[in-house]
Amino acid sequence: MINSFKKFVLIISTLLLIFSCGDGGSEDPVVDAVKVSIVEISVDEGEDDSNTFVRIRLNKETQTLVTAYISSVDGTATAGEDYVGFSNVPIVFEPGDKNKDYSVQILGDTDSETDEYFEITITNLEGNAETDLGTAKVNIINDDREPTSFTIPTTGPDSPTSYPGMSLLWADEFEGPGINNDNWTFEIGNGDWGWGNNELQYYTRGENASIVDGNLIIEAREDDTRRFTSTRMITKGKFDFQYGRVDIRAALPKGQGIWPALWMLGSNISTVGWPACGEIDIMELLGHQPNKVHGTAHWSDNSDHKSYGKSKTLSGTRTFNDDFHVFSIIWTENSIKWLLDDVQYNELNISSAGLSELQKNQFFIFNVAVGGNWPGNPDATTPFPQQMIVDYIRVFQ
């Protein structure tokens, strides 16, 4: 009798467990709705038709199928004249997706006109999603302006074309007529496309860079709506090196919120990220301190960002905008030395294994940023346009 009762209890318990599991399993898990945004961008108009990409993004990876329908809306730019319009285009996010890029065609011309914009808006959503930023501008930057007049300095220190025990490995003297595409690539976009520091500028395809009288000119500009454009050019994939002496002769821009830099990043940045790739800043300047430059290195210490740097201030009343100066590093397996006009002002010992990021190949970056966490933003005292003028870059080993 007792055994029969135990069997009866066991059967009832099992049935209750089965029914309980069945009831719970019939309900779908609660999934919070994702939020959909469109990212504002700026694009160069150009003389020929071109395509740019507008990013539609989610605040997190979706677990379900989400479809956002987008349409273009005229602003000061007109569909059919300045860009190719579109209506209710489906942007489909599969489970696991977070970002989608949609190609938009910009219609180029040779007319000198003001910058224009149109908008892209989310017209409908399907799936477990909500609109976050449902409308964004596409700013069309007109690049058919007359060349800016400016003065190239005729004074300032120079450097030799050779050093005892070293040979010239690579150089760009910027003799023109255009920028050498075998040496340089233009990085395009704003902070949302891979760099940040809360900078304000949009980097163009090269409309803000030119060769004038044997000098590279990188120009930061402001338009009527307080939007800024500039240039960021790199040698990644075209030239990198490990150890040697670098000489760069340049005259620098000035003004609140202006941030020129001549610097290097580890060639493995695409695989290890920053700061694990290492960074060597040959020269940085904050525009509100036009007589002071900085030389700095950045690296990773057990995933923590580390840096070391010093600055050098000119004596007297002259600034780095008034004359050319030579910004140099001497980089060996044991140390990095920073020099201004061949006079050392900073040194970092990199011989330890903890600084191995600074013992590997690096490539060059030239840019003029506008605004950012370090320099602050431009104000009413900041004149535009601003030019960084580079006479040459030379690498010796």
Q: What is the pLDDT of residues 294-350, one digit of tens each?
A: 999 999 988 889 999 999 999 999 999 999 999 999 999 999 999 999 999 999 999
Each domain of the chain, given as residue ranges in start order, spans: 34-141, 168-396
284 is catalytic: yes
Close Cβ partners of 270 (under 8 Å, ≥ 6 residues apart): none
Q: Considering 116, 199, 207, 279, which one is annotated as catalytic?
A: 279
Instruction: Give me Rg for the CA atoms of the chain.
Output: 28
The CATH code belonging to domain 34-141 is 2.60.40.2030
pLDDT of 2 above 50: no
Q: What's the pLDDT tens digit per position in 33-47?
A: 999 999 888 787 877
Q: In a 3-state reduction of DSSP, which class is residue 133? A: strand
Task: Name the DSSP class of 33.
Answer: P
**CB-CB contact of 326 with 318 (8 Å):** no
The rounded percent of the chain whose pLDDT value lies above 70 is: 87
State yes or no: is 279 an active-site residue: yes
Tell me the pLDDT tens digit for each residue of 267-287: 999 999 999 999 999 999 999
**Residue 358: which pLDDT band, with cuts at 50, 70 and 90?**
very high
CATH no. of 168-396: 2.60.120.200
Q: How far apart are CA 125 and CA 134, in angstroms?
A: 10
Q: What does pTM read for this prediction?
A: 0.69
C-alpha closest to that of 301 among 349, 351, 348, 354:
354
Q: Is the pLDDT of residue 146 over 70?
A: no
Catalytic residue among 116, 222, 284, 357: 284
Percentage of the chain exceeding pLDDT 90: 71
Q: Which amino acid is at 338?
A: W
Same fold: 34-141 with 168-396: no
Query: Given a cut of 50, is residue 21 above it in pLDDT?
Result: no
38/56 Cα distance (integer angstroms): 5
More confident residue, 195 or 343: 343
